[in-house]
């Protein structure tokens, strides 16, 4: 068998779930995270020669995530920076350490008009996510994001004037239900940005722009409006990328039952579904944004 050189490669640990409880105050704080770790560097010997001497076990990555959470997590991004710093220290052959942290948000259950001190339920609005990357000898960089923010409007959206051919059966409409689940990631000007605050404020801007864009001609049209709104409202954000499934709500044909349907009953089709992706960036900014990252 010939020995061929390795191309780009990396390895890590996925699906590390951990929760941290802060009991220092009467109102407990509960942080629920999923962590992804990737290490990139010189691992040719492991691939080509079977030499594992430069490989930090992925089980060690899992253990590191738990050990560094022992003293609490004041800031998810700060915890991520501590992780990438540790992985670079523990792995001399690593050139780049990358950690993605996705928060599963919880909120206190309200009892008799007040938040309960230690009882929680899942919070709405999607899952904040951050990716912390550090190259050896450099400062860490951070991108933020939101995953799974479901949103729907019952009017104010159209889709017409589109390209047609012999296989096109979709009717044009000037009024439809538009639904999507927003996945968005954004880049910032530097490490001193308020990443925790942006995890709240940027999604709020996105959803407000979605709600206010009643002249929407398509999901693409609204994507650009949402991205522009974010860059206008948040000076530290330099680019934002969206992945927006078009979650179809199809007006149900009730004629077989002798009934009309004046925009009341819809078939919710979970698949197939359209997927709209795009990046809105400031002038002069050319983000390197992988579609699958």
Query: Catalytic: which of 28, 58, 181, 221?
Result: 58
E strands, the chain, are 10-22, 29-41, 94-103, 106-111, 114-122, 127-135, 141-153, 178-188, 237-246, 249-251, 266-268, 274-281
For the record, the structure tokens of 77 come out as: 């991004």
Active site annotation includes 153: no
- Report d(CA 180, CA 247) in Å as an integer: 5
- Please say whether the beta carbons of 79 and 132 come within 8 A: no
Residue 159 annotated as part of some ligand binding site: yes
Please, where are the H alpha helices in the chain?
44, 58-67, 76-90, 195-212, 219-233
- Of 97, 42, 43, which is closest to residue 65 (Cα–Cα)? 97
Query: Catalytic: which of 13, 153, 195, 234?
Result: 13
Active site annotation includes 188: no
Residue 9 annotated as part of some ligand binding site: no
Query: Catalytic: which of 195, 213, 234, 248?
Result: 248
Helices 219-233 and 195-212, axial angle in degrees (round to 10): 140
Q: Determine the straight-line distance between the first and last CA of the chain, rounded to whole angstroms.
A: 34
Residue 52 annotated as part of some ligand binding site: no
Residue 219 annotated as part of some ligand binding site: yes
Phi and psi torsions of 137, nearest 5°:
85, 0
Residue 176 annotated as part of some ligand binding site: yes
**Bond from prior residue into 287 cis (ω within 30 degrees of 0):** no
- Please say whether the beta carbons of 58 and 13 come within 8 A: yes
Which residue ranges are tagged as binding site for O2? 246
Which residue ranges are tagged as binding site? 58-59, 159, 176, 219-220, 246
Which residue ranges are tagged as binding site for 5-hydroxyisourate? 159, 176, 219-220, 246
Which residue ranges are tagged as binding site for urate? 58-59, 159, 176, 219-220, 246
Which residues are part of the catalytic machinery? 13, 58, 248
């Amino acid at each position: 068998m010939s020995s061929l050189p390795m191309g780009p490669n990396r390895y890590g640990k996925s699906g590390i779930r951990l929760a941290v409880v802060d009991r220092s105050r009467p109102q407990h704080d509960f942080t629920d995270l999923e962590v992804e770790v990737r290490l990139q560097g010189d691992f040719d010997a492991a691939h080509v020669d079977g030499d594992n001497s430069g490989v930090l076990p992925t089980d060690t990555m899992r253990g590191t995530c738990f050990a560094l959470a022992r003293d609490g997590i004041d800031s998810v991004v700060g915890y991520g920076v501590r992780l990438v710093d540790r992985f670079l220290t523990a792995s001399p052959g690593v050139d780049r350490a990358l950690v993605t942290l996705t928060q599963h948000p919880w909120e206190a259950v309200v009892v008799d008009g007040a938040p309960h001190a230690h009882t929680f339920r899942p919070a709405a609005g999607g899952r904040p996510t951050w990716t912390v990357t550090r190259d050896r000898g450099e400062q860490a960089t951070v991108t933020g994001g939101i995953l799974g923010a479901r949103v729907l409007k019952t009017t104010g959206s159209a889709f017409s004037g589109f390209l047609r051919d012999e296989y096109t059966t979709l009717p044009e409409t000037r009024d439809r239900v538009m639904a999507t689940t927003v996945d968005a990631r954004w880049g910032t000007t530097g490490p001193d940005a308020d990443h925790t605050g942006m995890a709240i404020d940027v999604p709020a801007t996105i959803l407000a722009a979605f709600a206010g864009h009643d002249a929407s001609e398509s999901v693409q049209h609204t994507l650009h409006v949402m991205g522009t709104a974010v860059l206008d409202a948040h000076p530290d954000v330099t680019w934002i990328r969206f992945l927006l499934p078009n979650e179809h709500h199809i007006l149900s044909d009730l004629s077989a039952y002798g009934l009309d349907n004046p925009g009341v009953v819809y078939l919710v089709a979970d698949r197939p579904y359209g997927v709209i992706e795009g990046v809105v960036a400031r002038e002069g900014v050319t983000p390197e944004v992988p579609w699958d990252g």
